[in-house]
């Protein structure tokens, strides 16, 4: 998973930090964008990218942004109707609740297993 925060676009609003269910990002400090502090905890839910009002975040699964022919910044927001001019940008996203909860559970379980003292290979997910 590749995540980039583009400092030239980021307005340090910390929306991405607040929305991240696994606390992957640390708050913006000293006019710097939020820090990707725990990338191994990312469940690739794309919420940080969806909530970024400046399209300053790119989340890619095994594809660096530099290798893509088209600039993908903001595509996920537009493709899923999350543009700020929409009256009801969250209208149909309630349907994702179960899927996102399951992702949080899987990610939390993986993290807990990684942190436990009894790291038995057969117990890893």
Q: Residue 84: its pLDDT value, please?
A: 55
**Domains by residue range for the chain, with CATH:** 2-91 (3.30.70.20)
Distances (CA, A) of 33 to 12, 29, 44, 61, 71: 5, 7, 19, 21, 20
Q: Residue 14: its pLDDT value, please?
A: 94
SS3 40: helix
Q: For a pLDDT cut of 90, what percent of the chain falls above it?
A: 21
Long-range Cβ contacts of 90-98 (<8 Å, 24+ apart):
none
Residue with the larger pLDDT of the pair 68 and 24: 24
Band of residue 35 on the pLDDT scale cut at 50, 70, 90: very high
pLDDT in tens, 16-32: 999 999 999 999 998 89
Model confidence, pTM: 0.57
């Amino acid at each position: 998973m590749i995540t980039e925060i583009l400092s030239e676009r980021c307005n340090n609003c910390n929306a991405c930090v607040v929305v991240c269910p696994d606390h992957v990002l640390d708050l913006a400090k000293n006019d710097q964008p939020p820090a990707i502090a725990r990338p191994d905890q990312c469940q690739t839910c794309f919420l940080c990218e969806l909530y970024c009002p400046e399209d300053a975040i790119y989340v890619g699964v095994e594809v660096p942004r530099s290798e893509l022919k088209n600039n993908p910044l903001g595509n996920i927001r537009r493709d899923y109707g999350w543009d700020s001019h929409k009256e009801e940008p969250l209208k149909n996203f309630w349907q994702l609740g179960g899927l996102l909860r399951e992702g949080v559970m899987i990610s939390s379980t993986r993290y807990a297993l990684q942190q436990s003292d009894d790291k038995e290979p057969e117990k890893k997910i």
